[in-house]
Amino acid sequence: MEHLIRSTISCSFTTLTLAQINEDDILCMLLLKKPHDRTLDDLEIIYEELLHIKALSHLSTSVKRELASVLVFESHAKAGTVLFNQGDEGKSWYIILKGSVNVVIYGKGAVCTLHEGDDFGKLALLNDAPRAATIVLREDNCHFLRVDKEDFNRILRDVEANTVRLKEHGQDVLVLEKIPTKSQAADGTMQSHYKYSVMAGTPEKMLEHLLETRLDNTKSEETTDSFLEDFLLTHVIFMPTEKLCPALLSYYDAKSLKTDEQDAGDYGLTQKKSVVQFVQEWHNLAEDIFNEDEQVQVFLQELHSYVDEDCASFPCLASELTVLEGMMSCEKGFQFINTPEVGKRRISPSVMLTKKMANELYLDSINKKQPIKANDENIVKIYCADHTYSTLRLPMSSSVHSLIEHAREKLGLGSEELVLCEIKSSGDRVLYKEDDLCVTTGLSLNGLLFISPRKHLDALTPHPEQEGPSIGTANILELLSTKEIAYHMTIHDWQLFICVQEYELIYQVLGRSNFNKITANLDLFLRRFNEVQYWVVTEMVLAQNVGKRVQLLRKFIKVAAHCKEFQNLHSFFAIVMGLSNIAVSRLSQTWEKLPGKFKKMFADFETLMDPSRNHRVYRLSVSKLTPPIIPFMPLLMKDLTFTHDGNKTYFDGLVNFEKMHMIAQTIRNVRICRSRRLDLEPPNTAKSSTEVQDYIRNLQVIDNQRVLTQLSYKLEPRRT
Ligand code: CMP
C-alpha cells in the first residue's frame, strides 16, 4: 500500500514527502484525475479512503467500489460561495470532506449547518424535485465529494440510505423514508423506482415540502404518491384550518418577487403559484367543507387580494387569480345547488317537467342531502327524575356545560351542582363530561337525557316510553315486498351516509371535544345500524306464533339479500347481526321450519360476516365491488380506532405522518364508496311510497337485550 501511495504521489507532486501529506490530500489528488484516467491502483486507494467516510458507511463494498470510479473532487476557496440555489434542478449529490455549509431557505434564512462527513442534495435527485434549499459555503476552502445525477441514479438510487432527517436549528423537522414506487414508462410498462416519502415532520415543514416538491406529482402518471391527499384528509389533526390558512398566506407572502435576490424572482413566482394550486386541490378534495368554513372564505378573499396586488407587476399570475375567483363564485353557488327539496330547484316555468327530468330531480334529492351543521338548531328534550321534561332549542354544537346551564335556567334549578346523563332503557346510566358535544345524536336507541342534582343521581329511572313497542309490525311488513323494503332502507342509509363528513370520522375517534367539532351526521349513520339490528330482533320476538316467525325470518333473509344486491352492506350486516342475536338464534323451532334454501342463504351471509383474519372475507368481497357502496361502517370505525390506539400522533415533537397515511387510507375507502351517485330503479309498489318510507325511517325497537331474551324464552321456552 505504501509503495502505491508513494508512486502515485511521486508522479504528480514530487516535491512532497510522504510525511507532509495526510490521507485527505491523497484522496483529493486521486479524485482530481478524470474518472477514466484512474488506474486500478488509484481505485483501490480511493476505495480504502471511502471506508472512512461517515456518509457512505451504510453502503455495501460493491457500491463503494463503483463509487470510487465516479466520485469527483470539488473545492471552493471562498466562504459565501453558493453551491446551488433553492428551486434549481438537482444535478449532483455532495459529501463534505472538509469545511462546512449553511442550508438556507427563502423566507427563513440559514436553517442548519452541515459539517465534515455530512451529505446533502439527494432529495432533489431521488424525488425528481427542485432543490429544497440553497447551499452556501460557511468557510473558506471547503472540499466536497460529488456524485453526478446519472451516476447517482445508476449506482445509488436503489441503495441510498433509507431514512433522511432534515434539521432546522438543531431540531429534526422532516423525516423522509425511501419507498419503492411504480410508474408507467412511455412504452406502457410499469417501472419501479424509489422516492422519499414523508414519515414525520413538523406541520409547517411538511407543508413547505408539499408546496415545494410534491404538488406536481399529482399531475404525473405516478399514482403512488398520496402525500398531498393524505395531508388534506388529515390536516385537522395536526394543522387545523385556523393554522393552515395563515401558514399558506405567510408562505405566499414570504416568497420574494424581488429579482435582486439570487434568481428568487422566478422561484418566488413558482412558489406563489404553488399556494394557489394547493388551495385548488384542497377545494377539489373537500369542496363542501371548504365552501362552508367561514375561516376558509376569509382566507380565500385575503389570498385573492394578495394575488391581485402581485398581478399588477406579474401578469402571469392572472390565471391564478381566475382560479381563485372560480372557487369564490362556486362558494356562492353552493347553497343553491345543494337545496335539499326538489321543489326549491329553480326551473324555468316555461320548461315542461319531462319524466326524465323528474327522475333526475328525484335522484338529485337522493344524492344531495344537507348534512347537519354546527349552527343548526337542535331540539333537546331533557327529563327530570319525575319524568317531566323540558325542551331546549340550542345550536347543534352546544356543549354539555351549556345544555346544563340552559336547563338550569329554564327549570329554575338554582345553583345546585347539576349533572347531565343518559338513562338507557336497561336503566344503565352514562354520565357526561362538561365538554362533551353531540350528546343528543350520540344517545343509545331508546336512551333519554336526564338532568339531576349530582347527589340525587341514584333516583333516576327509565321512562316507560323507553321500553319500546309491545306489538310487532308483522302485519305491515306482510304487505310490503322485500325488494321495496330493501330499496327504501338503502335510500335512507345512502342519505345518512352521504351526509357524513369525512372529518367526522377523525373527530369521533380522536375525541370530539379535542376538536370542538360535531359528529352528528356520523352518529346518525352509526345509530341507524343499531336501529336496523334491534328492529329485526324486536319484530322476531314480538311475533307470537311460529308460523309468523318463520315468515318473518324468510322476509328478513330476503331483505338482507336485496340489500346485498344494492351494495348496502350497512343494513345487510345489521339484519344478519339481528338474526344472529341470541334472542333470535336460539328460536330453534322457528329455524327448524325454515326452508333449506333460506338456511343456506343465511349460512352464506354469516360466512361473509366472519370476523376472523380481520374480516378478510368481507374485505375481499367489498374490494371487488364498484361504487356506489354503503359500507359496513362500524368496521371502518374499528379500523380507525385501531390505527389511533396503536400509533402515537406525535413523536419527538414531529407529527407521525405514517399514522396520518393510515387514517387517510380508511377515509379514502369511504370516499371510494360514495364516489358515484346512487341510481337505483324504484320498485313497483302497491303501497304509497311515502308510507313505506315513513315506516322504514321510524323503526320502533326494544333495545334492552335482557327484555328481548326474556321475550324469546317466553315464545320458545328452554327444551327440557
Ligand atoms: P436537495 O433538496 O436536493 O437540495 C438541498 C438540500 O439541503 C436537500 O436536498 C437536503 O439534502 C439538504 N437539507 C438539509 N437540511 C434541510 C432542510 N432543513 N430543509 C431542506 N433541505 C435541507
Per-residue pLDDT reduced to its tens digit, 436-472:
999 999 999 999 999 999 999 999 999 999 999 999 9
Supply the DSSP string of 547-564, one letter for each residue.
HHHHHHHHHHHHHHHHHH
Strand, coil or helix: what is 416? coil
Nearest CA to ligand 1 atom 9: 121
- The HSE-up count of residue 453 (CA atoms within 13 Å, CB side) is 7
343 alpha carbon to ligand 1 midpoint, in Å?
58
The model's pTM is 0.86
* Distance linking the first and last C-alpha atoms of the chain: 96
Q: Does the pLDDT of residue 268 top 50, yes or no? A: yes
Res 15: pLDDT: 34
pLDDT of residue 336: 30
**What mean pLDDT do residues 42-67 have?**
88
Q: Based on C-alpha coordinates, what's the Rg of the chain? A: 34
Q: What percent of the chain has pLDDT over 70?
A: 89
584 alpha carbon – ligand 1 mean position (Å): 64
Q: What is the pLDDT of residue 201?
A: 97
pLDDT value of residue 32: 84
d(CA 526, CA 522): 6
Is the confidence at residue 345, as pLDDT, over 60?
Answer: no
- At residue 671, what is the residue type? R
For 333-340, what is the mean pLDDT? 33
Give, using CA atoms, the residue closest to atom 12 of ligand 1.
120
Query: What are the two backbone dihedrals, phi and then psi, of residue 422, each rounded to the nearest 5 degrees?
Result: -100, 135
Pocket of ligand 1 (CB under 6 A): 90, 103, 111-112, 120-124, 131-133, 166-168, 173
Q: What is the pLDDT of residues 110-168, one digit of tens each?
A: 999 999 989 999 999 988 889 999 999 999 999 999 999 999 988 988 777 788 899 99
How many angstroms separate the CA atoms of 620 and 569, rounded? 13
Q: How far is CA 429 from CA 422, 460, 613, 641, in A?
A: 6, 9, 35, 24
pLDDT score at 24: 64
Residue of 92, 103, 267 to mutate, ligand 1, most atoms within 8 A of C-beta: 103
| Closest among 474, 491, 475 to 483, alpha carbons compared | 491
- Look at residue 340 and tell me whether its pLDDT is greater than 50: no
Q: Which range has highest mean pLDDT (33-47, 175-189, 305-319, 528-542)?
A: 528-542
> Are the CB atoms for 205 and 655 separated by under 8 Å?
no
pLDDT of residue 194: 77
Strands (E), 620-705: 650-651, 654-656
Average confidence (pLDDT) over 52-80? 90
Residue 596 burial (CB count, 10 A): 7
Ligand 1 centroid from CA 136, angstroms: 12
- pLDDT reported for residue 16: 36
Write the DSSP assignment of 199-258 as a string of letters: EEE-HHHHHHHIIIIIGGGGTSS-----HHHHHHHHHHHHS-HHHHHHHHHHHHHHS---
So what's the pLDDT on residue 262?
Answer: 45
- pLDDT for res 4: 37
The per-residue pLDDT for range 563-590, each reduced to its tens digit, is: 999 999 999 999 999 999 999 999 999 9
Q: Does 315 sit behind a cis peptide bond, omega within 30 degrees of 0 on the bond before it?
A: no
The residue-averaged pLDDT of 53-71 equals 88
Question: Which ligand 1 atom is the nearest neighbour of the CA of 125?
Answer: 3
Backbone phi, psi, residue 311, to 5°:
-60, -30
* The predicted structure's pLDDT at residue 649: 97
SS3 50: helix
From the CA of 103, how far away is ligand 1's center (Å)?
7
593: phi then psi, degrees, rounded to nearest 5: -85, 0
Beta bridge partners of 391: 381
**CA 708 to each of CA 126, 520, 529, 585, 715: distance values in angstroms, whole numbers, following the listed order:** 63, 28, 18, 12, 11
Cα of 131 to ligand 1 centre, how many Å?
Answer: 7
Average pLDDT of 707-713? 98
Instruction: Using the atom order of ligand 1, give the atom closest to the CA of residue 132.
Output: 2
Please, is 502 exposed, middle or buried when counting C-beta atoms within 10 Å of its C-beta (0-12, 13-18, 19+)? buried
How much is the pLDDT for 11? 34
Can you name the residues that pair with 395 across neighbouring β-strands?
Answer: 377
Helix (H, G, I), strand (E, B) or coil at 34: coil
Higher pLDDT, 123 or 187: 123
Condensed to tens digits (0 to 9), the pLDDT of residues 585-636 reads 999 999 999 999 999 999 999 999 999 999 999 999 999 999 999 999 999 9
189 pLDDT tier (thresholds 50, 70, 90): confident
What is the position in ligand 1's atom list of the atom closest to the CA of 131?
2
pLDDT greater than 60 at residue 342: no
User: What does pLDDT average to over the chain?
Assistant: 88
Q: How confident is the model at residue 332 (pLDDT cuts 50, 70, 90)?
A: very low
pLDDT the model gives residue 686: 62
| pLDDT score recorded for residue 23 | 62
Maximum average pLDDT range among 191-200, 338-347, 531-540: 531-540
pLDDT tens column, 658-673 = 999 999 999 999 999 9
Q: Per mean pLDDT, which of 289-293, 343-347, 676-680, 683-687 is the most reliable?
A: 676-680
| pLDDT at res. 188 | 75
CA of residue 72 to ligand 1 center, whole Å: 20
Q: For the residues 300-313, what does the mean pLDDT come to?
A: 93
Residue 230: pLDDT band (50, 70, 90) is: very high
HEC string of 88-148 equals: CCCCEEEEEEECCEEEEECCCEEEEEECCCCEECHHHHHHCCCCCCEEEECCCCEEEEEEE
- More confident: 22 or 536: 536
- Interval between CA 248 and ligand 1 midpoint (Å): 21
In this prediction, residue 718 carries a pLDDT of 87
Grid cell at residue 244: 393552515
C-alpha cell at position 716: 320458545
- Encode 30-59: b = buried (16+ Cβ within 10 Å), e = exposed: bbebeeeebeeebbebbbbbbeebebbeeb
Whole-number pLDDT of residue 592: 97
What phi and psi values does residue 125 have, to the nearest 5 degrees? -70, -45
Structure confidence at residue 361 (pLDDT): 76
Extended beta strands in 426-580, E state: 429-431, 448-453
pLDDT band at 22 (very low <50, low <70, confident <90, very high): low
Q: Return the percentage of the chain with pLDDT > 90, whole number.
A: 69
| Residue carrying C-alpha cell 407529527 | 655
pLDDT surpasses 60 at 12: no
pLDDT class for 57, splitting at 50, 70, 90? confident
Q: What is the model's pLDDT at position 347? A: 37
| Residue 352: per-residue pLDDT | 53
